Amino acid sequence: MTVLVAAKGPNAGQRFTLEDGGALIGRQPDVAVYLDSLSVSRHHARIICQSGACFIEDLASSNGTYINGVRIAGRAPLTDQDELRIGPYTFHLLGDRPPPSPAPDPIIRARVDAAATNPTLFSNNAAYKLQVVLAIARELGRALELDPVLGRLLDHLLHLFPQADRGMAVLCEGDRLAVRAQRTRHDGPRTDYPFSRTIVRRALDDGAGLLSEDVGRDGKVDLSATLISLNLRSFLCVPLIGWEGRRLGVIQLDCIRPGQVFKADDLELLTAVCLQASVVVENAALYAEHLREAQLRQELLFAREIQQSFLPTDFDPLGPEGPEIFARVQPAREVSGDLYDFFALPNGRLAFFLGDVSGKGMPAALFMIAVRTLIRHLAPSASGPAELLRRLNAALCADNPTNLYVTLAHGVYDPVDGGVVVALGGHPAPLLRRADGRIETVAAKPGLMLGCAPVEPVYTDKALTLAPGETLILYTDGYTEAFAPDRRMFGVEGLCEVLGGARTPLPLRECAEETAAAVARFTGGELQDDQTLFLLRRR
């Protein structure tokens, strides 16, 4: 059986069992490896394990799949020596290799399984141990923040174990060990205490508390050189184990005074305390994560409000002589990578845009704002839509460290005669709705998406004239590529059906609302991607 382990990022330590065959990785909740991050695509990658070999295949994700820091294209082999990165997550494979035979360790003199089911843990002096555990649990239960919890725990332990000179709480943060709290019995400058990572890893891997009664008198000092350099005489190192065996970290107590040592009873007592402390530490960590998530949600709501404020809401920019306009963005998440914009040009014409930034979430939203700012700067001096797209692409390619790109439809409307000139940068062609309800595709050349072209692309203007009552329709693929539960796609045909025919004379706002409702019925209510619609009708 092969296991995929999250080594870094959100939910570090989480494990996914990979069955033979393929397992999807992505942000879609029903995939085998569900990753709740906006930088992960819905179907981001597929991991395939067959006959002892594993492969990872990128499924045209927005932000890429990386092995050992290199972005892959298509399928690549994956071994337990590789580091797999998807968004903020870093993974390692664990295969079926048998564990190596442990060498005898002359330092560890006793070990106690750190499990509530250990029958020997409370067999000696059970009443005293229970009293200590309840007292510490009662005190720790008053704190919700992690660092104060750890500090209080160490204060209690130094009082409980008079032979301890110092104590520390070492927590697992991804694949690294970090000292989150420390206490000493002696005055002096506050410094971070060194510790033996080998011993800490041993306690975590074994899930057992460890005791060394006298490090200095060990007969095989070469195996404990690190401990000797720390000037330790005796130590206790007990793991903190959370729900479903998740390793949270360790509590370690050190003794450096001559004649002071820890005994087996001390190990049992500290292990009993750490069983309860693990619950409190995990609850504090979950509370901290909850606060971070709540703060992130609040920040995303603020970001959404800011982003929405960039979208024009005055749909009568040219007054009664101008066209009827309506546009809307429906973000699939808190913020959107889609955009629309329209504004009057100095010559009395109306410039309008609709675009779709690659990716989702905050990076796409920030890139969208940059695109909008550049458009507004370049549009007044551009001779036409095609020239503006060329200049916009050059500006984006010159400074685009995010490697995002945008598809864009840009047009200019002349209210005098209803003339429209449009140009496309990798975006779906506009639709033209005739006054009698027929809808046809505008035969504009697609061009290339903006922001990633290695050579200067070619953009072409397409001219047409709107008769009174005719409507130009711009949209993003969030409508046409919406999937029903049976995997049917809404398509351009579905968009034409809902916008044409009897709905032609409706106000444009009602047309947009009918379209959104039709797509929601088709998909079963799930908003799978950002959806943006721009409607312009000649009066």
By mean pLDDT, which of 2-6, 300-304, 489-493 is the weakest?
Answer: 300-304
For residue 114, the model assigns a pLDDT of: 60
User: Is residue 49 classed as helix, strand or coil in its secondary structure?
Assistant: strand
3 state SS of 389? helix
> What are 537's two structure tokens?
């009708």
Residues with Cβ < 8 Å from 133, sequence gap 6 or more?
272, 273, 275, 276
Report the distance separating Cα 430 and Cα 460, nearest Å.
14
pTM: 0.54
Reference 112, options 135, 137, 94, 129; nearest CA is 129
The whole-angstrom separation of Cα 532 and Cα 341 is: 11
525 in Cβ contact with 484 (< 8 Å): no
pLDDT at 420: 96
Higher local confidence (pLDDT), 114 or 173: 173
Coil vs helix vs strand at 162: coil
Using DSSP bridges, classify how beta strands 33-34 and 21-26 pair: parallel, antiparallel or unpaired.
parallel
In 3-state terms, what secondary structure has residue 483? strand
B/e letters for 180-218, b = 16+ CB within 10 Å, e = fewer, are bbbbbeeeeeeeeeebbeebbebbbeeebbbbbbebeeb
* CATH code 3.30.450.40 region(s) in the chain: 110-286
* Residue bearing the bigger pLDDT, 106 or 247: 247
Where do runs of H (alpha helix) occur along 237-263? none
Separation between Cα atoms, residue 490 and residue 481, nearest integer Å: 6
CATH tag, 311-538 = 3.60.40.10
Q: Determine the pLDDT at residue 460.
A: 94
What residues pair up with 76 in beta bridges, in sequence order?
56
CA-closest candidate to residue 359, choices 396, 332, 393, 329: 332
Residue 470 pLDDT greater than 90, yes or no = yes
d(CA 422, CA 442): 9
Within the chain, all domains assigned CATH 3.60.40.10 are found at 311-538
Model confidence at 93, pLDDT cuts 50, 70, 90, reads confident
Q: How far apart are CA 537 and CA 507, in angstroms?
A: 10
Residues of the chain within CATH 2.60.200.20 domain(s) are: 2-94
- pLDDT value of position 216: 56
pLDDT confidence of 185, banded at 50, 70, 90? confident
* pLDDT digits 0-9 by tens, 362-382: 777 788 888 889 999 999 999
pLDDT value, residue 288: 76
Q: What is the CA radius of gyration of the chain?
A: 32
Say if CB 499 and CB 511 are below 8 A apart.
Answer: yes
pLDDT reported for residue 103: 41
Range of weakest confidence among 284-293, 347-356, 385-394, 406-415:
284-293
Q: What is the mean pLDDT of residues 167-184?
A: 89
CATH among 3.40.50.970, 3.90.180.10, 2.60.200.20, 3.40.50.300 for 2-94: 2.60.200.20
Which uninterrupted H or E stretch holds 426? none
Residue with tokens 């329709």: 473
For the domain 110-286, what is the CATH code? 3.30.450.40
Residue 181 three-state SS = strand
pLDDT attached to residue 217: 56
- What confidence score (pLDDT) does residue 456 get? 79
E strand or H helix that includes residue 431: strand 431-433
pLDDT at 349: 93
Residue-wise pLDDT tens digits, 498-507: 999 988 999 9
Q: Which tens digits make up the pLDDT trace of 398-442?
A: 887 777 888 999 999 999 999 999 999 989 999 999 999 999 999
Q: Token pair 């697992």 is at which residue?
A: 172
For the stretch 5-55, pLDDT in tens is 888 877 777 888 887 778 899 888 888 888 888 788 889 999 988 777 888
Whether the pLDDT of residue 179 is over 80: the answer is yes
